[in-house]
């Protein structure tokens, strides 16, 4: 029982990342009809927003400490962050410690801007081109973006820890009456799950309860009719592209303490997120979220030693197996509707 | 006397045959003109440095390339001469190799066997490289070593730690200075006994490829010899990024030591995940403090892992602090660190060190042999004993082309002074303790075969 609970918890945080990326992907596909293979790169750029803010916070004044020597035997140069000089060691250190949550505020405008530039500068020229062209150009863009990040930040993972207040794990085992230390779960992963829930709820509320959202939903269902009513749907869809980029970016920011960011992390999630979108139903927002969590949990269960001892290698293929089964039984995915996104 | 009439078809056939002949790779045609592949005939000789310039090990590759550049500088008499000043062999005089100026070309392995072979092939065929060196992965090393054997050039391996490189996949034209998984185990064993005792239960997470398998096999053998029990060994895919679902069952498995047989990004992620799940601070079901061991890690990986590496034992081929901390036996370390540090502004990694040393060793072997002929170089390197290159007295064993030398056991430093000081040296395990017979079962199944000079 405790092993099952653990894998459900594991699946929830993995599913959170899948759901957030797939949500943005399906938003772009549902509004603009574009298959955006650069979406994983947006997730990665979000993560590097956190790295960048951490680096900005740790810009330092260098002084020479004559009492110590560096590896060459020269007097050691000691760096003191300006934040600690300006605001005092305690408050300055606290700001640096909280750089990941604070990076959310930094990442939102950056990602909106990147999304807008991407859409206006490149992707809008491919609206009327075949999906194969869109895939090629966005995949190329993803490679360019990750090479740019590698040029500036290197290929090594960069540690970006969570605030020390959230270090450590919660003992679910003790709380639920099992043996202590049998079901432990890192605080930050719980925060990630809660954060994903908030973002997903925010996007749904925005689309469901605002006039802007209503127009976007109408445009997704029938773009031509909305256009005939005199509404500039293209402009709204551009804004939705920016929002989708921001969602991917926020997912990336909050993911950095879970796995140290590197330039390749977007590609690691991209293919799986596409499978999630297809399984959920192309263009279906609830489908993307549902499929994200479902596949995340199933992937976790497939990694259990008990399962792998029966079917070796199942953890590598489970998501694709489920995708095949669902597409065979429900060709439009879990929540895809007839006539939506079917040319 | 009769003349056959020339037809259009005949001319075409002749043209195609001549074109095909010209298009044949020089690797095959050169053999008839030269005594061996890419025999240098001008005033220079070309070496090929095949390192990961893209992909997950690009930073390690960049450090290897820096070391190669430094070695070439020193061989050509530029700079301060680095380890040439401390090397026990005095054949290298700073006048190139056999009087020929050293030039080099670089290739990108991408840490993919096929890409690495393609770039090595290009350097041999198009650029005339007479020796190939570098790399940061055992899969790549085994693949490129095989290619060099076929092509008739020398392969001086870079960072490759799998037993197979000088075990079942050993080749006559290939040489490894870096240590291997067996030696890691032999060095770590006594340290683990001191740190954690003889009654422990080990759980292994292992990268699912040649390096992971041999590392796990070596660590399991050495810990079981100590009296430890192996609870489980779980193979993890090389492409895995989140190891949480592999880590969560560990505390309930009854194990109290976790071995992360992972390298590079895999290791950074799996260690980060293990620390997040509290394994470093947890009490195991056995009532003992839970411990984590990473058999091989580099300074670059320690930087990626950040605070999580603190207190974690592992092993290294070399460390830039060796001579300062353990004395004259490791001479060469300081001059190399000085040379490298002054040129690039930071201390060299173990990958940089092994690549620099391999270049000097190759050049020295050519000098001693008096020829670039690969078979003469093989003969000069086999059973060559040397000192002054940072690892203490070393033997390039002829039976398997593996260097035998001390192994450095390290630990993540608890309170590092700066970002270059993340690991501390626990001990340097003497060479006698990490020496094994060439036909040891973990290295069985391979044969060096005959040296190939490409002629």
Query: Are residues B331 and B291 part of one domain?
Result: no
Set of chain A residues whose Cβ sits within 8 Å of the Cβ of B269 = 157, 259-260
Question: What one-character-per-residue DSSP string does B404-423 give?
Answer: E--EEEEEE-SS-SSTT--E
Query: Does residue A87 sit within a domain?
Result: no
Range of the domain at A306: 2-55+100-329
Query: Does residue A62 sit within a domain?
Result: no
Q: Is residue A175 scored above 70 in pLDDT? A: yes
Query: Does residue B161 sit within a domain?
Result: yes
Q: Is residue A327 scored above 50 in pLDDT? A: yes
CATH number of the domain residue B217 falls in: 3.40.50.2300
Residue B444: burial class (beta carbons within 10 Å; 0-12, 13-18, 19+): exposed
Query: Does residue B453 sit within a domain?
Result: no
Q: Which tops the pLDDT comparison, A26 or B429? A: B429
Q: Which tops the pLDDT comparison, B361 or A154? A: B361
Set of chain A residues whose Cβ sits within 8 Å of the Cβ of B268 = 156-157, 260
Range of the domain at B381: 44-179+321-405
Question: What one-character-per-residue DSSP string does A112-126 give?
Answer: HHHHHHHHHHTGGGG
Alpha-carbon distances of B348 from A14, B55, B319, rounded to whole Å: 37, 21, 8
Q: How many CB pairs under 8 A join A and B?
A: 119
Phi, psi of A295 (to 5 degrees): -70, -35
Cβ contact, residue pair A260, B269, below 8 Å: yes
Query: Are residues B340 and B225 part of one domain?
Result: no
What ipTM was estimated for this complex?
A: 0.82
Q: Distance (Å, rounded) from C-alpha A289 to C-alpha B192?
A: 46
Q: Is residue A292 scored above 60 in pLDDT? A: yes
Query: Does residue A310 sit within a domain?
Result: yes
Query: Does residue A155 sit within a domain?
Result: yes
Point out the domain boundary residue: B316, B345, B375.
B316
Query: Does residue A160 sit within a domain?
Result: yes
Interface test with A, best of B230, B244, B256, B333 (most A CBs within 10 A): B244
Query: Are residues B58 and B141 part of one domain?
Result: yes
Query: Does residue B170 sit within a domain?
Result: yes
Q: Cβ distance B265 to A157 under 8 Å? A: yes
Query: Does residue B430 sit within a domain?
Result: no
Alpha-carbon distances of A75 from A65, A71, A139, B204, rounded to whole Å: 6, 9, 48, 43
Query: Are residues B137 and B57 part of one domain?
Result: yes
Cβ contact, residue pair B56, A264, below 8 Å: yes
Sheet of B154-157: strands edge to edge? B101-108, B44-51, B131-134, B154-157, B174-176
CA distance B97 to chain A (A): 30
Set of chain A residues whose Cβ sits within 8 Å of the Cβ of B59 = 154-156
Query: Does residue B434 sit within a domain?
Result: no
Cβ contact, residue pair A189, B276, below 8 Å: yes
Query: Are residues B171 and B260 part of one domain?
Result: no
Query: Are residues B343 and B226 part of one domain?
Result: no
Cβ contact, residue pair A157, B347, below 8 Å: no
Query: Are residues B208 and B148 part of one domain?
Result: no
Of A6, A150, A259, the CB nearest to B248: A6
Set of chain A residues whose Cβ sits within 8 Å of the Cβ of B306 = 159, 161, 260
Which of B179, B286, B174 has its CA nearest to residue B229?
Answer: B286
CATH number of the domain residue A245 falls in: 1.10.3470
Of B58, B252, B306, the CB nearest to A3: B252
Cβ contact, residue pair A159, B306, below 8 Å: yes
Which of A215, A241, A272 has its CA nearest to residue A113?
Answer: A241
Cβ contact, residue pair B249, A169, below 8 Å: no
pLDDT at B151: 96
Query: Are residues B304 and B210 part of one domain?
Result: yes
Of A2, A168, A305, the CB nearest to B278: A168
Set of chain B residues whose Cβ sits within 8 Å of the Cβ of A6 = 248-249
Cβ contact, residue pair B249, A265, below 8 Å: no
Set of chain B residues whose Cβ sits within 8 Å of the Cβ of A161 = 306-307
pLDDT at B27: 46
Set of chain B residues whose Cβ sits within 8 Å of the Cβ of A252 = none
| Cα A101 off chain centre by | 14
Q: Distance (Å, rounded) from C-alpha A2 to C-alpha A20?
A: 27
Query: Are residues B98 and B199 part of one domain?
Result: no
Specify the number of domains making up chain A: 1
Q: Distance (Å, rounded) from C-alpha B324 to C-alpha B295?
A: 24
Query: Are residues B360 and B254 part of one domain?
Result: no
Q: Which tops the pLDDT comparison, A181 or A257? A: A257
pLDDT per residue, tens digit, chain B (455 aa), is 444 455 555 555 655 555 554 444 444 444 445 689 999 999 999 999 999 988 778 888 999 999 999 999 999 999 999 999 999 999 999 999 999 999 999 999 988 999 999 999 999 999 999 999 999 889 999 999 999 999 999 999 999 999 999 999 999 999 999 999 999 999 999 999 999 999 999 999 999 888 999 999 999 999 999 999 999 999 988 878 888 888 888 888 899 999 999 998 889 999 999 998 888 888 888 889 999 999 999 888 898 888 899 999 999 999 999 999 999 999 999 999 999 999 999 999 999 999 999 999 999 999 999 999 999 999 999 999 999 999 999 999 999 999 999 999 999 999 887 778 899 999 999 999 999 999 999 998 889 999 999 86
Q: Is residue A300 scored above 90 in pLDDT? A: no
Q: Is residue A118 scored above 80 in pLDDT? A: yes
Set of chain A residues whose Cβ sits within 8 Å of the Cβ of B290 = none
CB-based burial, B49-72: b 16+ in 10 Å, e otherwise: bbbbbbbbbbbbbbbbbbbbbbbb
List, for residues A33-58, the tens digit of each pLDDT value: 888 899 999 999 999 999 999 999 99
Point out the domain boundary residue: B316, B333, B368.
B316
Query: Are residues B299 and B232 part of one domain?
Result: yes
Cβ contact, residue pair A14, B244, below 8 Å: yes
Point out the domain boundary residue: B316, B335, B364.
B316
Query: Are residues B65 and B171 part of one domain?
Result: yes
What contacts A206, CB < 8 A, 6 or more positions away?
Answer: A212, A213, A243
Specify the number of domains making up chain B: 2
Neighbours of B331 (CB within 10 A): 20
Query: Does residue B426 sit within a domain?
Result: no
Query: Does residue B26 sit within a domain?
Result: no
């Amino acid at each position: 029982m405790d092993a099952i609970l653990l894998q459900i918890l594991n699946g929830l945080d993995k599913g959170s990342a899948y759901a957030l990326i797939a949500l943005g992907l399906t938003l772009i596909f549902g509004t603009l009809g574009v298959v955006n293979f650069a979406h994983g790169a947006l997730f990665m750029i979000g993560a590097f927003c956190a790295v960048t803010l951490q680096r900005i916070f740790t810009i330092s004044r260098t002084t020479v400490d004559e009492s110590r020597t560096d590896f060459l035997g020269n007097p050691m140069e000691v760096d003191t962050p300006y934040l600690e000089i300006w605001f005092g060691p305690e408050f300055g250190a606290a700001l640096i410690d909280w750089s990941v949550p604070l990076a959310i505020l930094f990442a939102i405008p950056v990602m909106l801007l990147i999304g807008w530039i991407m859409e206006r500068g490149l992707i809008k020229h491919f609206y009327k081109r075949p999906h194969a062209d869109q895939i090629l150009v966005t995949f190329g863009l993803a490679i360019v973006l990750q090479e740019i990040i590698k040029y500036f930040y290197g290929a090594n993972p960069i540690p970006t820890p969570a605030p020390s207040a959230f270090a450590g794990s919660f003992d679910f085992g003790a709380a639920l009456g099992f043996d202590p230390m049998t079901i432990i779960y890192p605080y930050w992963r719980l925060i990630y799950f809660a954060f994903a829930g908030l973002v997903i709820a925010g996007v749904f509320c925005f689309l469901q309860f605002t006039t802007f959202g209503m127009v976007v939903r109408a445009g997704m269902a029938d773009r031509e009719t909305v256009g005939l009513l005199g509404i500039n749907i293209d402009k709204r869809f551009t804004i939705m592209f920016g929002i989708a980029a921001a969602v991917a970016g926020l997912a990336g920011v909050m993911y950095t303490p879970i796995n140290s960011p590197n330039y390749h992390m977007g590609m690691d999630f991209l293919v799986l997120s596409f499978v999630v979108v297809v399984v959920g139903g192309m263009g279906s927002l609830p489908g993307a979220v549902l499929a994200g969590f479902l596949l995340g949990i199933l992937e976790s269960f497939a990694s259990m030693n008990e399962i792998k001892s029966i079917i070796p290698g199942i953890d590598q293929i489970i998501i694709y197996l489920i995708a095949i089964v669902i597409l065979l039984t429900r060709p439009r995915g879990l929540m895809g509707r007839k006539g939506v996104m079917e040319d | 006397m009769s003349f056959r009439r020339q037809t259009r078809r005949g001319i075409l056939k002749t043209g195609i045959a001549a074109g095909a002949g010209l298009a044949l790779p020089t690797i095959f045609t050169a053999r008839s003109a030269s005594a061996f592949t890419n025999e240098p005939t001008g005033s220079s000789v070309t070496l090929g440095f095949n390192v990961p310039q893209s992909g997950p090990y690009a930073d390690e590759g960049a450090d290897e390339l820096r070391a190669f550049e430094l070695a070439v500088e020193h061989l050509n008499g530029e700079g301060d001469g680095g380890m040439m000043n401390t090397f026990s062999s005095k054949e290298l005089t700073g006048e190139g190799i056999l009087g020929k100026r050293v030039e080099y070309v670089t290739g990108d392995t991408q840490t993919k066997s096929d890409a690495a072979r393609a770039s090595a092939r290009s350097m041999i065929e198009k650029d005339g490289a007479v020796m190939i060196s570098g790399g940061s992965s055992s899969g790549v090393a085994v693949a490129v070593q095989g290619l060099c054997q076929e092509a008739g050039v020398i392969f001086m391996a870079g960072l490759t730690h799998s037993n197979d490189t000088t075990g079942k996949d050993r080749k006559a034209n290939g040489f490894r200075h870096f240590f291997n998984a067996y030696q890691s185990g032999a060095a770590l064993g006594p340290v683990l006994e001191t740190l954690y005792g003889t009654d422990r239960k080990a759980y292994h997470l292992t990268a699912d490829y040649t390096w992971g398998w041999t590392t796990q096999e070596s660590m399991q053998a050495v810990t079981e010899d100590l009296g430890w029990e192996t609870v489980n060994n779980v193979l993890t895919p090389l492409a895995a990024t989140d190891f949480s679902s592999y880590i969560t069952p560990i505390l309930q498995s009854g194990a109290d030591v976790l071995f992360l047989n992972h390298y590079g990004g895999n290791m950074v992620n799996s260690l980060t995940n293990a620390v997040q799940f509290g394994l470093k601070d947890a009490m195991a079901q056995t009532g003992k403090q839970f411990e984590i061991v990473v058999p091989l890690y580099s300074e670059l990986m320690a930087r990626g892992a950040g605070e999580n590496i603190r207190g974690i034992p592992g092993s290294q081929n070399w460390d830039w602090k060796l001579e300062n901390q353990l004395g004259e036996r490791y001479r060469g370390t300081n001059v190399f660190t000085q040379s490298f540090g002054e040129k690039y502004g930071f201390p060299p990694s173990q990958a940089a060190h092994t690549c620099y040393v391999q270049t000097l060793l190759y050049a020295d072997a050519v000098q001693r042999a008096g020829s670039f002929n690969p078979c003469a170089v093989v003969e000069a390197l086999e059973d060559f004993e040397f000192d002054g290159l940072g690892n203490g007295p070393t033997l390039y064993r002829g039976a398997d082309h593996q260097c035998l030398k001390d192994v450095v056991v390290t630990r993540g430093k608890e309170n590092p002074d700066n970002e270059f000081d993340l690991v501390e040296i626990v001990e340097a395990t003497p060479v006698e303790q990490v020496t094994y017979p060439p036909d040891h079962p973990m290295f069985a199944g391979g044969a060096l075969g005959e040296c190939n000079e490409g002629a």
